Amino acid sequence: MPRLAFKMKLKPGAVAEYKKRHDELWPELAAELKAAGVSDYSIFLDEETLTLFAVQKLGEKNSAAALPDSPIVRKWWNHMAPLMETHPDHSPVTKPLKEVFHLD
């Protein structure tokens, strides 16, 4: 099962609200991610740098590349934009990370 890892950046003072919004993740967004083949999705925070590290598993037959076209994903991006670095369309600025080691 392929894994995808990337990093994002929070704005200063946004940690508590970012966590709160994810603790209250919209069920329709979770369903959209699962339907696209995304599973075992975690986001970690480096509190010193406000860097978020995300990792997710993708099903062999996934449609994750189409998620940016989803209305619910775009609504979530708009909801989260005040808290993190984003592009003009409110999609989060992400930087892919290269896997250098894995142990099952």
Where do the domains of the chain lie, and which CATH numbers do they carry?
3-96 (3.30.70.100)
Concerning whether 22 is annotated as a catalytic residue, the answer is yes
Please give the pLDDT value at position 1: 79
Structure confidence at residue 104 as a pLDDT band (50, 70, 90)? confident
Q: 19 vs 10, 15, 34, 101, CA distance in Å?
A: 11, 6, 20, 28
The single-letter DSSP state of residue 61 is S
Cβ neighbours around 45 below 10 Å, total = 15
Structure confidence at residue 22 as a pLDDT band (50, 70, 90)? very high
Rounded to whole angstroms, how far apart are CA atoms 43 and 6? 9
Say whether 34 sits in a helix, a strand or coil.
Answer: helix
Rounded to whole angstroms, how far apart are CA atoms 36 and 85? 24
Catalytic residue (choose from 22, 79, 87, 90): 22
Q: Tell me: the pLDDT tens digits for 29-85?
A: 999 999 999 999 999 999 999 999 999 999 999 999 999 999 999 999 999 999 999
